[in-house]
Structure 1
Amino acid sequence: MDDIINEIWCICEETFWGIPGHGYMMKRQDPLPDISDQIIELFSAETAALLAWNYYLLKTKLDGISIMVSERIQHEVKRRILDPYLQRNDFWWMGFNQEKMLNNWNSWCNSNCLAAFLLLEDDPNRREAAVVKAMRSLDMYLHRLPSDGGCEEGPKYWMYAGGTIFDSLELLHGVSGGKIDVFQEPLIRHIGCYIYKAFIDDSYFVNFADSQAQVHIPAELTYRYGRRIGDSRLCELGARVQRMKREEGTRLEFSSMFRLLPALFNYTEVEQYSGKSPYIRDAWFDSIQIMVAREQEGSSKGLFLAAKGGHNGESHNHNDIGQFIVYCNGSPMIIDPGIMTYTSKSFFSERYTLWTMQSGYHNLPIVNGVQQQDGRQFRADEVEYTLNDKVTSLSMNIAGAYPEFAGIRSWIRSVYRDLSPNIKISDNFLLNQVTDDITQILITPHPPQTQENGNIILQDKNHNRVKIQYDSEMYAYSVEKILLEDEIMREIWGDTLYRMKLTAIIPAAQGECVIRISR
């Protein structure tokens, strides 16, 4: 208990429970936190919930040593979180002031503030007011989410967006004795289904936006979400993760007690569950314009394809309109590099100085030396998704994702997976003037092996392989190494990525570039 008390006391002595990067929320901008301006951000809310759980679970033992510990928890959480939560409506994440954007902050902060009130607040009127305010704020977020449940922030953030929506709903369901129950609402169901529709294999997910390719989702929460909405695929995904990771699956990033305790108590139930396979053959999210297609229903065997349209003003955006990825037997072949460790450059004005955010480091064309630009106005047009017995395809005009000085009148990118089963990437373009400054980029974690007549082989250490074919009379091949220094990137991809370039040989103002991918 001494170590626990020491830790609690040290936390209570901290001036600010948030991180420096969130100091922008304070009215007076200064390198040091303003103690007169108690803001609620992600990690101050997390800290409050953690202390509240310690109070709830350990109060008797803490009081047996010193009553000051429990009193200090109550005092600090009240002045830093509970009072500001009830008194203020100006925190952008609450959604009460017609904010341009709401994201995972809403449900993440609300779920932790709600837990702190329910565990720590003695006044029933204040507790009720907090519950009502949390529901109003969550509604602001839910009303902005697309009806198909698509998470534009990517699968990593599903844990903190959809996952903390579920945390909030579980708290409300529990405190109301089951009377607050919205788990059968279509939107809540679709938010849960998103994560298995973005699932590839093992720990790999479709990692558009700020997400690593490998995402360690909370197994028990995923299972419990599936159980609440009656979706056996979601339950099975959670159970598979737990069977694969065993006890390691309970060690979660930013994990609250509200997730850890069920993970321990339900461990055996989750591990023994057997449900419907989460490997679905096709999925389409119209709201975020993401297509997913695999070769076989119920299996990771064969080729897997995902592609996206959308716009370049999304939450946690990368400039990646027209991006696609290809896996073979669950192994990454043509990839989205993902994100590096967050720094001060990861947000605000310097974000797009980072190479991982730039279209030139995605599987996209560079035209006249110009890459895509950030902003909601830079978007895909003429988007068309097709699914039938012969083909799954996504077609779009990505010209609008580039600034005017790129000189692109039209650039129709079409991504196909047919029954052969092969993948075809077809780019039909029309430019303002003749140029040979056109380069197609492909990113892979494997050293490319070139063959004659426009063939490239990619192969992993387990001999999973794909063949890439292109017109070698029209495009010249080259490759450069991207040496990875970032720890997060190295954990997933090793020390090197390979940036393949197909550069136009013959000047043209219009034409077609076709890339075929097969096993």
Structure 2
Amino acid sequence: MEPYSIVPGNHPPPDAVAAHEPAAARLPRANPHEVAHILRGVGEDWARLRPVTDTEAWKAVAARLAPDTLDRLVATGRAAARRPVTPLTASQWRTYTRTGDRTAYEKPWYERRTALADLLVAYTLAPDGDVLDALVDMLWATCEETSWSFPACYAVEHPLELPDPEKPIVCLFSALTGVGLAESLHILRPVLPAELVARIEREVTSRVIDPYLEDDHWGWLYNRPDMNVNNWTAVCGFGAVGAACYLVRDEKRLATILCKAARSMEEYLQTFDPDGATSEGPSYWSFGFGSFCQLADLVERRTGGTWDWFGAPIVERVARFPLDSRITVDSWPTFSDCDAGARFPGPLLVLLSERFAVPGLMDLAGTPSASWTWKNANGPVTQALRSLAAGTTAPPRPMPLPEPSTWFRGVASLTARVNAADPETLAVAVKGGHNRELHNQNDIGSLIVRVGGEDLVVDPGRGLYTRDYFNEHRYEFFVNRSFGHSVPRPAGLEQAEGLDHRAAVLALDRSKHCDQVAYDLTGAYPSDGGELRLLKRTVALHRGDLPRVELTDAFAFAAPATAESAFVTFGEVTVEAARVVIRGERAALAISLPAGTTADVHTEDVQLAFAVRRTSRIAVRPVKPAESTVLSFVLTPL
């Protein structure tokens, strides 16, 4: 196996394709001299979308839209033109530095970017003087912003009360602003005042493109012994390098930027599971991998089809992740910082379906699980333009069926369902992995049981992002602690954070009648106490006449100690003599209690990303401590 890095200690995490099959993430090699030569041979019409003065091209875009969709998009943009530019103030920024609350600044930021996208779409479809004036105002106001970053991102580089315009940073949302402005300028350049054109070029170059090229310190750019790349790598790369594709006219300089990006994107691709999974979950598949794909598409077009970043074998595997990661036909596990009700960008699904000839992705694009809107999207302008190019929707299609079960060997995650075609079927998801995953939660062994179209044993998913959510207080949040997951608590211990705290897969058996996995979870817990000697978790989904989930936790201690298995739920909990019943909105689940155990229920209001949920943790313990305990449960739909 080739070296991952010449730096001692800089090793790939065990779940990454780089640890198993490094060549799968390799992009085609090129040097700046070669790339510059290629760029000189590519004409100015390389981009997917044309300048607005190409009226025939934009009439063709409009003709692909349903009449009511066309009318709605134009009306939305004209309504935005009648509203004043949403203010972004120092006080809103300081709310974060004072309290850690992110929404005061981020909400109006999104409103501005969404309004820009609405105005741009309306003007391209039906040019109007008032809309153009509003576009000029919005573009100018964006250039006037002291920082394009969020306060939370800016504080990572500069812990200041207010941003310093002399210290721009390349982060998620400054980079997305940069490429959004560059694509807006590409389309609107012929109708914008020359002074505004120059201003946009100058601001994007100085705030995003130059810092990307000239500075290597960004923590997201390359792997380091203390930090691996993640979705930031793809998003920031798409923003900065995508903007450069439009604005940098010097072929040598652009070639240098593209070659730097290729190295960075290759390291990003190395983070994926060898079967295409990401430990960041479906939401960050859309954000991170979606950004990689948008950049790969731009690079291929900008180089006249010569430099193909889609060709790395891992890319096609990752492209299939929305199809392969489902718990039932129309739902996805909420492991890590993932929201319930995952949705995937429709234009991205179409792009990948066509690129890799995967009909299931095209089918998925025509279901409610695809998003074609750009309201509050992370990059509203880029999402709007790609949605527009793809027709803003896909024909309604039935949801493609998953396999009976799916196993991702890197992240050690199993999903299995009784009836793959039934959205209300009994299904289970369980994960192994380690506790330094991307967007990590201490959740090794986490279990989800779904029936009746709802999760009854849950992984809570993503909490509300605040300052403390991403600092040393992260594992004080219910959703990030192992206490907030359906995992054991041996001798009162919670799991510990870090790459050394991981599960080992002991057995995997997938068959027509039963799917079963067994993990050694011992390493997930602190070893300094010395009490825990062994913790084995086995999860099985049984099909047949009596569909059920069986869970067994086997504990061994150095001295008598208390074993504890747990089930987390948003449902109503009733403890009976020999079982616990969880009742949701549409279904119910019975959990048998082992003989000689008691069940306690802890309930609290948990702040999730978009709502506060009443959450219960059912703890099952034997009456007496022991050196060896086996807790076995049968989970049966009612």
TM-score normalised over the length of structure 1: 0.90
CA contact (8 A) 1:363 1:442 kept: yes
CA distance in structure 2 between the aligned counterparts of 1:216 and 1:252, rounded to whole angstroms: 13
Alignment-derived partner of residue 137 in structure 1: 264
Deviation per residue, 1:478-506 (Å, 9 max, x gap): 2232224556133xxxx412222212212
Larger strand share, 1 or 2: 1
Letter in 2 for 1:33: P
Alignment-derived partner of residue 449 in structure 1: 574
Alignment-derived partner of residue 465 in structure 1: 588
CA contact (8 A) 2:563 2:629 kept: no
Instruction: Select 2:479's aligned residue among 333, 336, 356.
Output: 356
Distance 1:485-1:418 versus aligned 2 partners, 3 A rule: closer
**Mean alpha-carbon deviation: is it higher for 187-196 or for 229-238?**
229-238
CA distance in structure 2 between the aligned counterparts of 1:269 and 1:253, rounded to whole angstroms: 16
CA contact (8 A) 2:245 2:254 kept: yes
Alignment-derived partner of residue 565 in structure 2: 440
Give 1:314 shift. Answer: 1.0
Alignment-derived partner of residue 79 in structure 1: 206
Instruction: Select 1:298's aligned residue among 421, 424, 427.
Output: 421
Letter in 2 for 1:430: A
Give 1:95 shift. Answer: 1.0
Instruction: Select 2:381's aligned residue among 251, 257, 262.
Output: 257
Give 1:337 shift. Answer: 0.7
Give 1:292 shift. Answer: 0.9
Q: Give the secondary-structure state (helix, strand or coil) at the position aligned to 2:479.
A: helix
Give 1:415 shift. Answer: 0.7
Instruction: Select 2:253's aligned residue among 122, 126, 129.
Output: 126
CA distance in structure 1 between the aligned counterparts of 2:282 and 2:526, rounded to whole angstroms: 29
Deviation per residue, 1:159-207 (Å, 9 max, x gap): 1222112112111222233333343543011111112222235863111
CA distance in structure 2 between the aligned counterparts of 1:476 and 1:359, rounded to whole angstroms: 21
CA distance in structure 1 between the aligned counterparts of 2:494 and 2:429, rounded to whole angstroms: 21
1:186 matches 2:313:
yes
CA distance in structure 1 between the aligned counterparts of 2:452 and 2:606, rounded to whole angstroms: 25
Alignment-derived partner of residue 9 in structure 1: 140
Distance 1:383-1:309 versus aligned 2 partners, 3 A rule: farther
1:33 matches 2:156:
no
CA distance in structure 2 between the aligned counterparts of 1:484 and 1:314, rounded to whole angstroms: 23
CA distance in structure 1 between the aligned counterparts of 2:560 and 2:632, rounded to whole angstroms: 19
1:409 matches 2:533:
yes
Deviation per residue, 1:340-379 (Å, 9 max, x gap): 1111111131111111111111101222222111111111
CA distance in structure 2 between the aligned counterparts of 1:176 and 1:383, rounded to whole angstroms: 48
Alignment-derived partner of residue 209 in structure 1: 336
Instruction: Select 2:292's aligned residue among 165, 168, 179.
Output: 165
Alignment-derived partner of residue 488 in structure 1: 610
Letter in 1 for 2:552: S
CA distance in structure 1 between the aligned counterparts of 2:585 and 2:452, rounded to whole angstroms: 13
Alignment-derived partner of residue 302 in structure 2: 175
Alignment-derived partner of residue 633 in structure 2: 515
Letter in 1 for 2:495: Q
CA contact (8 A) 2:377 2:383 kept: no
CA distance in structure 2 between the aligned counterparts of 1:99 and 1:117, rounded to whole angstroms: 30
Alignment-derived partner of residue 385 in structure 1: 508
Structure 1 unaligned runs (5+)? Answer: none
Alignment-derived partner of residue 504 in structure 1: 622
Q: Give the secondary-structure state (helix, strand or coil) at the position aligned to 1:349.
A: coil
Distance 1:220-1:273 versus aligned 2 partners, 3 A rule: farther
CA distance in structure 2 between the aligned counterparts of 1:273 and 1:196, rounded to whole angstroms: 14
CA distance in structure 2 between the aligned counterparts of 1:152 and 1:390, rounded to whole angstroms: 28
Give 1:424 shift. Answer: 0.6
Letter in 1 for 2:350: Y
**Mean alpha-carbon deviation: is it higher for 369-378 or for 278-287?**
278-287
**Mean alpha-carbon deviation: is it higher for 124-133 or for 205-214?**
124-133
CA distance in structure 1 between the aligned counterparts of 2:419 and 2:329, rounded to whole angstroms: 16
Query: RMSD in angstroms over aligned alpha carbons?
Result: 2.3
Q: Give the secondary-structure state (helix, strand or coil) at the position aligned to 1:410.
A: strand
Alignment-derived partner of residue 277 in structure 1: 400
1:22 matches 2:145:
no
CA distance in structure 2 between the aligned counterparts of 1:144 and 1:486, rounded to whole angstroms: 27
Letter in 1 for 2:355: R
CA distance in structure 1 between the aligned counterparts of 2:401 and 2:213, rounded to whole angstroms: 41
CA distance in structure 2 between the aligned counterparts of 1:180 and 1:134, rounded to whole angstroms: 13
CA distance in structure 2 between the aligned counterparts of 1:17 and 1:361, rounded to whole angstroms: 35
1:477 matches 2:599:
yes
Q: Give the secondary-structure state (helix, strand or coil) at the position aligned to 2:320.
A: helix
Letter in 2 for 1:442: F
Give 1:309 shift. Answer: 0.8
CA contact (8 A) 2:180 2:382 kept: no
Alignment-derived partner of residue 497 in structure 2: 374
Deviation per residue, 1:105-150 (Å, 9 max, x gap): 1111111112211222233332232222222221222234332111
CA contact (8 A) 2:444 2:521 kept: yes
Give 1:312 shift. Answer: 0.7
CA distance in structure 2 between the aligned counterparts of 1:107 and 1:361, rounded to whole angstroms: 30
CA contact (8 A) 1:151 1:158 kept: yes
CA distance in structure 2 between the aligned counterparts of 1:202 and 1:62, rounded to whole angstroms: 48
Higher relative contact order (CA 8 A, sep 6+): 2
CA contact (8 A) 2:209 2:241 kept: no
Alignment-derived partner of residue 430 in structure 1: 556
Q: Give the secondary-structure state (helix, strand or coil) at the position aligned to 2:628.
A: strand
Distance 1:269-1:209 versus aligned 2 partners, 3 A rule: closer
Kindly report which structure 2 residues correspond to 1:35-50, keeping only aligned pairs within 5 A, or say none: 35-50=165-180
CA distance in structure 1 between the aligned counterparts of 2:507 and 2:611, rounded to whole angstroms: 33
**Mean alpha-carbon deviation: is it higher for 384-393 or for 501-510?**
384-393
**Structure 1 consecutive aligned stretches of length 4 or more whose deviation exceeds 6 Å:** none
Q: Give the secondary-structure state (helix, strand or coil) at the position aligned to 1:84.
A: helix
Distance 1:268-1:70 versus aligned 2 partners, 3 A rule: closer
Alignment-derived partner of residue 27 in structure 2: none
